[in-house]
């Protein structure tokens, strides 16, 4: 197959669960002999097209900030959506697109109709009207309507968790239009990573409000007041970085908290996970929680929170691979104190969980999904 993958953010220029998933899925598709072109922003210097590890990257617009303040940029979303009309010039059997930031799915659906190919969308999480109102206020009503429209546009939707699939179906998407393809974890790379001098607590993720890093800093201060001193390493970048640094200083945690920024080498992150005592993901919204699986594979007990939109909590077995607490600073501090005082052999309990997540299987299932969407007899070939 010739596959057009459309995403405004790609690894290694922007990192997160979505970028990690596309990175591995695209690599698996190439290994299977498919031709993949990634259409994105011009993240790299030089020419608008480049080829890396057999994957063609094509810039359809200049680089623009993904965020304005702590929220996704509407202007970037509009510009990227308009740029997606350029795909009408190219040849492919299927268009695969990330669901965020939604607006690009309208031109991609029109392009797919002109080119007579299916549009397949990978959906990581469904927000719904209530969350949109909290996020955008009165404008949330419009955003929720756009999200609902977006669910109608693809021929097939791929989710990375059964919870997101169920939520889409409850939202009116036909059940036969949604499938789940679980992500993978690079167990070999994690196993080979040497443990490094880590921290008592480690967080890795994008520094945006719903990830809960601000709450984690409050929890560290509460522990300090109880006479429990712990170091906290924070890996990641994002629009909340400066505010979180200011918060850390205001709470008197300057000597305990290290902002490590973006780690270009994922082995360095896995080494930190191996060397740290606890991994924290106090996020109230996770479509899957790949970092939790990686942390467990590295042997780090994990603490996450009990929230309806946080599907990462299902990856943690209470008292065996970590703890799930209420999304408050006090509850998080209690869980951290318990974790620091409870020795735990995570790998023995996590092995059955880890066996479910293999990138090879994810790549094979994704290819099957594309063939289901287009019909094998319609593949155009090289």
Residue 72 forms beta bridges with which residues?
67
Q: Smallest Cα–Cα separation from 316: which of 291, 337, 340?
A: 291
Q: What is the dotted CATH code of the domain comprising 187-354?
A: 3.40.50.2000
pTM of the model: 0.86
Domain ranges of the chain: 2-184+358-378, 187-354
Do 2-184+358-378 and 187-354 agree at the fold level?
yes
CA distance 343 to 101: 42
Q: What is the dotted CATH code of the domain comprising 2-184+358-378?
A: 3.40.50.2000
The widest CA-to-CA distance across the chain, in whole angstroms, is 68
- In tens digits, the chain (382 residues) has pLDDT values of 999 999 999 998 988 888 999 999 999 999 999 999 999 999 999 999 999 999 999 999 999 998 887 778 889 999 999 999 999 999 999 999 999 999 999 999 999 999 999 999 999 888 888 888 887 788 888 888 999 999 999 999 999 999 899 999 998 999 999 999 999 999 899 999 999 988 999 999 999 999 999 999 999 999 999 999 999 999 999 899 999 999 999 999 988 999 999 888 889 999 999 999 999 999 998 989 999 999 999 999 999 999 988 999 999 999 899 999 999 999 999 999 999 999 888 877 888 888 889 999 999 999 999 999 998 444 444 4
Q: Do residues 42 and 379 touch, judged by C-beta distance below 8 A?
A: no
- Other C-beta atoms closer than 10 Å to the C-beta of 176 total 8
Q: Smallest Cα–Cα separation from 264: which of 235, 300, 233?
A: 235
């Amino acid at each position: 197959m010739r596959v057009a993958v459309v995403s405004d953010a790609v690894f290694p220029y922007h990192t997160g669960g979505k970028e990690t998933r596309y990175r591995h899925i695209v690599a698996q598709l190439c290994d299977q002999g498919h031709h993949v072109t990634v259409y994105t922003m011009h993240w790299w210097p030089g020419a608008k097209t480049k080829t890396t590890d057999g994957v063609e990257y094509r810039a359809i617009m200049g680089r623009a900030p993904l965020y304005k303040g702590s929220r996704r940029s509407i202007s970037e979303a509009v510009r990227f959506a308009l740029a997606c009309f350029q795909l009408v010039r190219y040849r492919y059997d299927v268009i695969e697109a990330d669901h965020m930031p939604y607006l690009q799915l309208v031109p991609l659906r029109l392009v797919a109709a002109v080119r007579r190919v299916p549009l397949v969308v990978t959906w990581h999480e469904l927000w719904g009207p209530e969350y949109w109102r909290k996020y955008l206020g009165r404008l949330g009503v419009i955003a929720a309507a756009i999200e609902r429209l977006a669910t109608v546009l693809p021929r097939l939707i791929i989710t990375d968790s059964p919870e997101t699939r169920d939520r889409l179906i409850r939202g009116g998407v036909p059940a036969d239009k949604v499938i789940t393809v679980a992500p993978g974890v690079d167990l070999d790379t994690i196993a080979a990573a040497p443990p490094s001098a880590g921290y008592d607590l480690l967080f890795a993720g994008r520094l945006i409000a719903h990830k809960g890093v601000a709450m984690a800093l409050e929890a560290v201060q509460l522990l300090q007041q109880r006479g429990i001193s712990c170091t906290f390493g924070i890996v990641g970048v994002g629009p909340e970085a400066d505010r979180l640094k200011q918060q850390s200083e205001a709470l008197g945690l300057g000597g305990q908290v290290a902002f490590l920024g973006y780690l270009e080498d994922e082995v360095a992150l896995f080494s930190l996970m191996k060397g740290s005592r606890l991994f924290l993901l106090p996020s109230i919204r996770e479509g899957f929680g790949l970092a939790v699986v990686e942390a467990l594979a590295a042997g780090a007990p994990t603490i996450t929170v009990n929230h309806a939109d946080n599907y990462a909590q299902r990856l943690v077995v209470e008292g065996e691979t970590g703890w799930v607490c209420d999304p408050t600073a006090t509850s998080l501090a209690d869980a951290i104190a318990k974790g620091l005082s409870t020795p735990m052999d995570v790998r023995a309990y996590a092995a059955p969980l880890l066996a479910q997540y293999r990138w090879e299987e994810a790549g094979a299932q994704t290819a099957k999904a594309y063939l289901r969407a287009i019909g094998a007899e319609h593949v155009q070939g090289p």
